[in-house]
Chain A
Amino acid sequence: MLTEIIDVIISGMINGSVYALMAVGLTLIYGVSKAFNFAYGSFYSMGGYLAFLVFGFAFLHNYLIVFCLAAPILFFFGYIIEKLLVAPLRKRDDWEVKVMMITLGMALFLDNSFQVVFGARMKSLPSILEGSFEAGEFILSYQDVVIFILSISGILTFRWFLNNTRTGMSVRAVAQNPAGAQIVGIPKEFVFSATFAISTVMVGMGGILLAQKYFVTPDGGWDILVKSWVITAFGGMGSIKGSLYAAFIVGMLEAFVGWQFGMTWTLIALFAVLLTTLVIRPQGLMGKRG
C-alpha cells in the first residue's frame, strides 16, 4: 500500500513536471499574443515523432542528438507557422476565432499526416537512461529522474531567459502592453513569432520526454492540449509560477484518480477542477484579475 502510494506520487511528480513545461509554453503564447493554439497537442505528437525519426538512424542513438536536432527544427517550424498562418490574420477584426479555426484545421492536417506517414500504430521510444534505484520494494527508475530534472531545468532556463535577456524582457513588455512596447521600438511581430516558436519547442520537448513513458500516437495530443489548458487556466494565465504549481497539482490528481478509479475518470476529474477554478477564482491560482 505504502509503496503503491509512493509510486503514484512519483508518477504524479514526473508527469506534473512535464505538464508544467508544456503549460508554461501555452501560458506564454496566450499571455503574449492572445492566440489560442488548437494545434498545440499536434506539436506534442510532432516532438515524439521527430525523436522516433531520429532514432530510426542507427548512428544517432542518443538523446543528446535528438534534443539538439529537434529543438531547432521545432523552433523553425513554429516560427514559420506563425509567420505564414497566424500573423496575416492579426489584422482582422475577428482574428481570435479565425486563429482558433486555422489552428484546428492545422491540427487535423498534422494528426492525419502523422497517421499516413507513420501509421496508426503506437510508436515507442527507448528509455533515456536505463536502470533504476531500488530499496526493498521501492523502485525509482533513472529515466523518471532524468525526465524530472530535464523538464524542471527547461522551465528554469526559460525563466532565466525571460528575466535576464533582452529578448525575454521584450517578450514580457509585449505581454504587458503591445502598443507601448511598439512605441519604444520593440519589434512586436518578431516577438509574437518568437514566442510561438518557443512554445512549440517547449511542447515538442514535452512530447519527447513523455513519449518514452507512454507512446506516440497520431491523435495523442488532444489530451495534452486539454490538460495544458486546464493547467494554464488553473494556475492563472500568464503566471509561470502558477502554472508550475497547477501542473504538479494536476499531475498528482491525475495519478491518484487514475490509481483509485481508473484512467477514464482522469479527464472528468480535470474538468471538475477546471469548473471549480473558473467559478470560484476565475483568474486562477496566481493570475491577476482582468
Chain B
Amino acid sequence: MEHKRTAIILAVIWSIVAILPLFFGSTNFIMHILIICLIWSVVASCWDLIMGFAGIFSFGQVAFFVIGAYSSAIISARAGIPPIFAVFMAGIISGLLGVLVGIPCLKLKGAYIALVTFAVHMILEPMLKGDIGRFIGTGGSRGILTIEPMNIFGYAFTNSHPIPYFYLILFVAVICSAIIWLVIRSHWGAAFLALKDAEDFATCLGVSAFKYKLMVFALTSFLTGMIGGFYAHYVGMLSTRMLGIDLFVTLMVILVIGGVGKFPGAVIGAFITVAINEMLSPLGSYRPIILGAMVVILVLLLPDGIIGLIQKLVAKREPMVSPLRNNQP
C-alpha cells in the first residue's frame, strides 16, 4: 500500500511539473529555476535513499555530484565524446568512486561513515584545484569555463531555449525516481530497512550487509554523478565553489523539508527549497544565515518533514516507529 501511495504521489508531482512550462515557458528565468529544482530533486532523492532508507550517514553526496559534473565536462572536452555518452561515463566514474569510498565504510558505524564521506568532500577541493586537478583538466582554481552544451543526435540544447532541456531533465528525473522507487519496493529496500533497524539481527537472517551497502553506494553515486553531468552541460561552467558548505546545507534543507526516509518528500522538498532560496537571494549575505537558522528550526519543529506532517494529519493508521529499534542513549 505504502509503495503504491508513493507511486501515486510521484506520478502526481511529475505530471504537475510536466505541465508547468505551459504557464512559465516564456520566462527563461523560471524555466532555469525549474531545471535546477529537477536536478536537486534527483540528488536529494539519492541522498535520501542512502541516508534515510539505508541508514548510512553519507555526507559525500555533493562530492559525487561535483565529481560527476567535472568528469563529464572533462570527458566530453578531452576525448571528444558526445555529452549524452559522457554523462553516462561520468555516472560510471562516480559509481566506481562511490564503491571505493563505500568499502572502508562497511566496517564502520554511524558517525565514522559521516567522517570518511565528509572527508572525501573536504579533500575534493584541494584535489581539483591542485596539480592533479590541473593535470586532468579541471582548470585549477579558475574552474572549467566552457563546457559543450548537451546535444542528442545533432539536436543541440541551448540555454536560451530551456524548454527542451527541461523535458530532457524531467525525463531523467522521472527515470531516476522510478529507479529509486523500484529499489525501495524490491527486496533491496526491505534489506536496507532491516540493516538499518537491526544490523546484527538482519545479518543473522542472511542479509548481506556487504552486498547491500556497496550496492546502495554504487547506485546513489552513479545516479548523482550522472545528474551532475547533466548539470555541467546545462550551466556550461564549473568551479570548486559548488563544494562550499552553502550548497551542502541547501541539499540538507531539501531533505529536512521533505522528510528523511520519506521518499517522494525529497522531490517536494527540492521545489520548496529552491523557491525559498530564490526568494531569499535579494538578501545577499543574510541568505545563508537564514538558511542555517531554517535547518535548525525545521529539524526541531518539523522532524519528519512535510510528508511526515501530512501522514500525521491524515491518520495514524500505521505505526511509524519500528518496534525493533531502541536507540535511546
Contact = CB atoms under 8 A, between A and B. Distances in A.
A279 interface: yes
Interface stretch (B9-17, B126-134, B168-176, B265-273): B126-134
A7 interface: no
A100 B113 CA distance: 12
A105 B260 contact: no
Contacts of B120: 271
Contacts of B111: 30, 34, 36, 96, 100
A267 B116 contact: no
B204 interface: no
Given A90-B329, A222-B245, A233-B115, A105 B122 contact: no
B136 interface: no
B118 interface: yes
Interface in A59-101: 85, 88-98, 100-101
* A interface majority secondary structure: helix
Contacts of A109: 288-289, 292-293, 295-296
Nearest to A110: B292
B329 A178 contact: yes
Interface centre among A91, A102, A279 (most CB of B within 10 A): A102
Contact of B107 (A178, A233, A274, A278): A278
A105 B252 contact: yes
Interface string B120-157: 10110011011000000000000000000000000000
A118 B104 CA distance: 40
Contacts of B303: 89, 92, 98
Contact of B116 (A33, A102, A107, A274): A274
Contacts of B127: 268
Interface string B241-270: 000011011001101100011000000000
Contacts of A260: none
B245 A107 contact: yes
A99 to B, nearest CB: 9
B104 A33 contact: no
B230 to A, nearest CB: 26
Contacts of A167: none
Interface in A273-288: 274-275, 278-279, 282
B299 A101 contact: yes
B29 interface: no
Interface residues of A, number: 50
A116 B289 contact: yes
A219 B245 contact: yes
B275 interface: no
A223 B125 CA distance: 12
Given A108-B249, A268-B127, A93 B104 contact: no
B210 to A, nearest CB: 15
B118 A226 contact: yes
Contacts of B118: 226
Interface of B: 51, 57, 59, 104, 107-108, 110-112, 114-116, 118-120, 122-123, 126-127, 129-130, 245-246, 248-249, 252-253, 255-256, 260-261, 285-286, 288-289, 291-296, 299-300, 303, 321-322, 325, 327-329
Given A104-B245, A108-B295, 7 more contacts: A33-B329, A98-B303, A100-B114, A102-B296, A226-B118, A278-B116, A282-B107
5 contacts: A94-B260, A102-B296, A112-B292, A233-B112, A275-B116
For the complex of A and B, 7 pairs with smallest distance between CB atoms: A105-B295, A109-B292, A108-B292, A112-B288, A36-B111, A264-B126, A102-B299
Interface of A: 30, 33-34, 36, 85, 88-98, 100-102, 104-113, 115-116, 178, 219, 222-223, 226, 229-230, 233, 264-265, 267-268, 270-271, 274-275, 278-279, 282
